[in-house]
């Protein structure tokens, strides 16, 4: 909605203007009225209109003098529509001089004013659109120059541009912050939407509580899951206040993005913009420690500068080959112990993220290798989960749980598939021996530690027909033999060959041979 101030020394005109026009439907909102030019000028000390509609002839200060004063003010210049009861060329000439959008004679004709308002709105829309494009371009260019500060070969050019086009040179200290969005495995809310909301919260934290007068901040993209912040400020108190404000705002946004975890790391402060890359590098160092904290959402370089990130000491770890043996043999206690003890070492020794990723990658590769051996029909690639974890880089405890779940899944899949050299002939022999009982594909699969779907595929390939049809053929052949060689009643023969329902048995028999069991017995 565009903001409007009405100015006229006749109260009846002010009331009429508010009543006869449907301002909201035209895209306007009346934010104030004034009975002369001087009153309007006082209003402009606290509010900024997009449009002023003013009478020309008024007591104290007329409309022409009002607009003359406004044009000399350092404010966003509003559009102007003049009203007058005097149809004289001199007034029209003055109106044009001060770039009035229209000149409307009293008594006001509603359609004429509406037409002028529609035209002004079109101009405001166009200017707003152009301004937005210019602002976006400026932000993008500033972002690229900040990124240029991190590249030593372009730092001087970037510094010159930033000092000429921002107020960064006015501040005493500079600091880099890195906001990292750790996406969940399943993103109910898009990462792009969360990133935009995070950027809004970062800007709001600067604008709130009067900090915009004491802190200047710019955002820049690092990569898909990270946003960089360049913060310029005068005192440590101010930056700590900003950090707290941002922390609160990010916490408040979590309910709308519970599928994601957001953390912020801050580098050390530097006194010169040319050293901003040092703050950026220490912010990255700080971010690497976030993996060791489950609930912490922010960390500063001063929190971790006394610590070091270490290489893996494989002598302290249970080897991956022991995990693989436990996975194949379904030794669940050994699987749990492997992850519990090894990840305890990772946390205690503050092992580097890169080394942990290498270790996890070996687990994925070796588990997937065994999966292909024991379950060749299982369509799975370790890249799916591995690259998801590498991108999200969750806390160490969440990381351990996700990789543990993967290892348990592989172990269960191997157990269920029964691919551990089960003899297909043994399974067929079992069906031939026990077809008279109430057997099912699932029961046989459980007995031979075979995945039911996999077993069905194996039998189809070996027997050239499906399990149910093969079982039915065995029962039908046996029932024919009993009908011809014994005097047993049909219901007894049905039970003997594996059917609990004699009527169903008769239907199956008729479908197979075109005669009922009774008719077959009499042949």
| CA 109 – CA 101 distance, rounded (Å) | 16
For residue 128, the surrounding DSSP H or E stretch is helix 110-149
Where is mean pLDDT largest: 225-229, 232-236, 327-331? 232-236
Query: In which band, very low, low, confident or very high, does the pLDDT at 256 lie, cut at 50, 70 and 90?
Result: very low
Q: Evaluate if residue 72 carries a pLDDT over 70.
A: yes
User: And the tokens for 467?
Assistant: 């399990």
User: Would the pLDDT of 96 be above 80?
Assistant: no
pLDDT-derived band at 421, boundaries 50, 70, 90: very low
Predicted pLDDT of residue 393: 63
User: Are 263 and 297 a contacting pair, CB within 8 Å?
Assistant: yes
What integer is the mean pLDDT of 250-267? 68
Q: Tell me: the pLDDT tens digits for 329-349?
A: 788 999 999 999 999 999 899
* Bridge partners of residue 105, in order along the sequence: 84
Q: Is 59 helix (H, G, I), strand (E, B) or coil?
A: coil
Instruction: Say how far apart CA 351 and CA 221 lie, in whole Å.
Output: 28
With 0-12 / 13-18 / 19 or more C-beta atoms within 10 angstroms meaning exposed / middle / buried, residue 194 is buried
Residue by residue, what is the 3-state secondary structure of 82-113?
A: EEECCCCHHHHHHHHHCCCCEEEECCCCHHHH
72 or 101: whose pLDDT is higher? 72
Tokens of 138: 């400026």
| pLDDT at 295 exceeding the cut of 80 | no
What is residue 229's three-state secondary structure? strand
Q: Are strands 79-84 and 102-105 parallel, antiparallel or unpaired?
A: parallel
Answer whether residue 407 shows pLDDT above 80. Answer: yes
As a whole-number percent, the residues of the chain with pLDDT over 90 amount to 30
Q: Mean pLDDT for the chain? A: 83
19-33, 211-225, 496-510: least confidently modelled range: 211-225
Identify the band that residue 208 occupies on the pLDDT scale cut at 50, 70 and 90: low
Report which secondary-structure segment, H or E, holds 431: helix 424-434
Per-residue model confidence (pLDDT) at position 58: 84
Weakest mean pLDDT among 78-82, 254-258, 291-295, 488-492: 254-258
Among 19-28, 325-334, 368-377, which is the least confidently predicted range? 368-377
Count the Cβ atoms, other than its own, within 10 Å of residue 120: 24
């Amino acid at each position: 909605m565009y903001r409007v101030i009405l100015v006229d020394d006749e109260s009846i005109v002010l009331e009429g203007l508010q009543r006869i026009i449907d301002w909201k439907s035209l895209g306007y909102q009346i934010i104030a009225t004034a009975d002369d030019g001087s009153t309007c000028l006082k209003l402009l000390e606290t509010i900024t209109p997009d449009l002023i509609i003013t009478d020309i002839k008024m007591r104290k200060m007329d409309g022409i003098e009002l607009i003359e004063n406004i044009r000399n003010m350092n404010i966003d210049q509003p559009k102007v529509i003049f009203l007058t009861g005097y149809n004289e060329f001199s007034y029209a000439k003055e109106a044009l001089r001060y770039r009035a959008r229209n000149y409307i004679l009293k008594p006001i004709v509603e359609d004429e004013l509406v037409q002028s308002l529609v035209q002004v709105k079109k101009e405001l829309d166009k200017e707003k659109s152009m301004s937005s494009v210019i602002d976006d371009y400026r932000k993008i260019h500033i972002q690229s120059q900040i990124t240029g500060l991190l590249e030593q070969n372009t730092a001087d050019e970037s510094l010159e541009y930033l000092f000429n086009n921002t107020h960064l040179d006015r501040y005493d200290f500079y600091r880099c912050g890195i906001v990292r969005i750790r996406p969940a495995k399943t993103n109910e809310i898009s990462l792009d939407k969360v990133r935009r909301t995070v950027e809004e919260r970062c800007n709001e934290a600067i604008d709130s509580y009067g900090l915009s007068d004491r802190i200047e901040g710019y955002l820049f993209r690092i990569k898909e899951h990270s946003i960089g912040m360049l913060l310029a400020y005068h005192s440590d108190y101010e930056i700590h206040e900003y950090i707290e404000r941002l922390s609160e705002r990010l916490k408040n946004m979590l309910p709308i993005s519970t599928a994601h975890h957001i953390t912020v790391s801050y580098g050390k402060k530097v006194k010169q913009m040319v050293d901003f890359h040092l703050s950026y590098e220490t912010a990255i160092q700080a971010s690497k420690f976030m993996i060791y904290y489950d609930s912490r959402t922010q960390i500063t370089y001063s929190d971790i500068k006394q610590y070091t990130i270490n290489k893996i000491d494989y002598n302290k770890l249970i080897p991956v080959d022991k995990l693989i043996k436990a996975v194949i043999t379904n030794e669940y206690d050994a699987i749990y112990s492997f992850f519990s003890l090894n990840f305890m070492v990772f946390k205690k020794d503050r092992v580097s993220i890169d080394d942990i990723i290498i270790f996890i990658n070996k687990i994925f590769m070796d588990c997937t290798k065994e999966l292909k051996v024991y379950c060749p029909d299982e369509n799975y690639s370790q890249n799916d989960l591995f690259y998801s974890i590498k991108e999200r880089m969750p806390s160490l405890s969440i990381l351990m749980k996700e990789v543990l779940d993967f290892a348990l899944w592989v172990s269960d899949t191997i157990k269920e598939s029964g691919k551990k050299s089960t003899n297909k002939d043994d399974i067929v022999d079992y069906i031939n021996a026990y077809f008279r009982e109430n057997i099912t594909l699932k029961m046989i699969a459980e007995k031979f530690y075979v995945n039911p779907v996999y077993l069905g595929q194996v039998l189809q390939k070996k027997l050239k027909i499906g399990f149910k049809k093969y079982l039915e053929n065995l029962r039908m052949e046996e029932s024919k033999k009993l009908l011809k060689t014994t005097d047993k009643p049909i219901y007894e023969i049905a039970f003997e060959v594996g059917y609990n329902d004699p009527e169903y048995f008769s239907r199956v028999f008729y479908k197979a041979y075109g005669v009922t069991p009774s008719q077959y017995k009499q042949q």
